[in-house]
Amino acid sequence: MAYHHQLNAVPTIPSVPEAPTGFVADALARPLQELRISLTDRCNFRCVYCMPEEVFGNDHVFLPQTSLLSFEEITRIARIFVAHGAQEIRLTGGEPLLRKHIENLIGMLAQLKTPDGRDIELTLTTNGALLAKKAQSLKDAGLNRVTVSLDSLDDATFKRMNGVGFPVSDVLHGLEAAHAAGLGPIKVNMVVKGGMNDREIVPMARHFKGSPFILRFIEYMDVGVSNNWKMDEVIPSSEVVRRIAAHMPLEAIKSNHKGETAARWRYQDGSGEIGVISSVTQAFCHDCTRARISTVGVLYTCLFATSGHDLRALMRSGKMDQQISAAIAHLWRSRADRYSELRSAKTMDANQAAKKIEMSYIGG
């Protein structure tokens, strides 16, 4: 699998140094508020819509350890993003819990403070396979919250979707352990792929209704190229809400904050809420305040990017924090990405489509 490193540019260092002010907005007036960091390109699942076995089989060559950002490099970059206004850091991958000694990194990141002295929000997205074992040590290290991916409660469907025959019960144990450790509020993300797990929408809603977990349904997206995405496999969020509401009446509620990816719906009987993330049918690029750092330290300003900016090269060539900080501010100011709002299956240029970066590399 090629990762298109050749398309990544080493950022130019602006000649006039500038100190971060805690706020930087892009070309469409979107502030930089969240940083997602991919800790590894490896995963212990082979989800059919993300890292299918046919593409990521036994002969797949993963990145060598030396090319990954070290914990010191990750913390250095994160500190600069926080100085520019990032208040939340989300660790992802691949499967972030496969990164050795992740607790040490969490301990380092948990020390970061916003320019006005507040703690940052430190979160992690996981498939839950190792959560039962690790929840308490993650919490003790300073992690605030986890989001757990779970696509079905039906064992046969889940095993087929995760590609490695992993049982549902182990993820449910992981969820309980995370709740007991205080890693909440915990969100559970279900990617809905038409014809594969859409029968599970109502059972999943019923299972998590009234529980401490907030279930969110994600539209199947055209990230990367390995999943062979087709628009007719996307179940629109409006349909998800319609199907659940037919059994358990729902009403729309206000978002928690501007830029929230999920639209919120609450059960009319007061037993909790669900979220729907309509990345395809109702794109939310206009509110996107997220920057992404890949496993090898490339900055992507959009999940659907075809090229990025090599921050690792800046660090490993001895640039100073001030220089890297100025380069990041400059890149963010010129950001104008809004891939999802412009998406059209018919008009997407085939060359562009072929170059999209895989989710497991850029981080979900």
Contacting residues toward ligand SAM, per CB under 6 A: 43, 49-50, 92-93, 95, 125-127, 149, 189, 191, 218, 220-221, 223, 227, 359-360, 364
Give yes or no for a contact between 278 and 236, defined as CB atoms under 8 angstroms apart.
Answer: yes
**Residue with Cβ nearer ligand SAM (31 or 364):** 364
Contacts of 217 (CB under 8 A, 6+ apart): 190, 192, 201, 237, 240, 274, 275, 276, 277
**Closer to ligand SAM by Cβ: residue 223 or 324:** 223
> CB 110: neighbour CB atoms within 10 A?
15
Alpha carbon distance 126, 138 (integer Å): 12
List the one residue out of 285, 279, 226, 292 whose CA is nearest residue 92: 292
Q: 123 or 360, CB closer to ligand SAM?
A: 360
Closest separation between CB of residue 35 and ligand SAM, Å?
15
Token pair recorded at residue 268: 């009319």
In the bound state with ligand SAM, the residue whose beta carbon lies nearer, of 48 and 329, is: 48
CA angle 8, 46, 277 (to 5 degrees): 70
In the complex, which residue's CB is closest to ligand SAM? 364
> What's the closest the beta carbon of residue 49 comes to ligand SAM, in angstroms?
4
- Give the type of residue at 220: Y
Q: What is the smallest separation between the CB atom of 362 and ligand SAM, expressed in angstroms?
A: 9
Which lies closer to ligand SAM via its Cβ, residue 95 or residue 337?
95
Cα separation values, 271 from 209, 253, 348, Å: 6, 14, 42
Q: Which is nearer to ligand SAM, 144 or 325 (CB)?
A: 144
- CB nearer to ligand SAM: give 150 or 328: 150
| Strand ranges inside the chain, DSSP E | 34-38, 88-92, 121-126, 145-149, 186-192, 213-219, 250-253, 263-267, 273-277, 290-293, 298-300, 309-310
**What are the structure tokens assigned to 285, written together?**
């690029």
Residue for token pair 């206004």? 85
Judged by CB, which is closer to ligand SAM: 43, or 105?
43
* Rounded least distance, CB 274 to ligand SAM, Å: 15
Q: Count CB-CB contacts under 10 A for residue 350.
A: 6
Q: How far is the CB of 294 from ligand SAM (least distance, A)?
A: 12
* Closest distance to ligand SAM from the beta carbon of 326 (Å): 31
Which residues are 25's β-sheet partners? 31
First to last CA, the chain: 18
Cβ 192 to ligand SAM, closest distance in Å?
9
Which tokens belong to 241?
A: 């809400």
Q: Which is nearer to ligand SAM, 46 or 209 (CB)?
A: 46
Shortest gap between Cβ of 155 and ligand SAM (angstroms)?
18
Provide, rounded to whole angstroms, the least separation between the CB of residue 22 and ligand SAM.
28
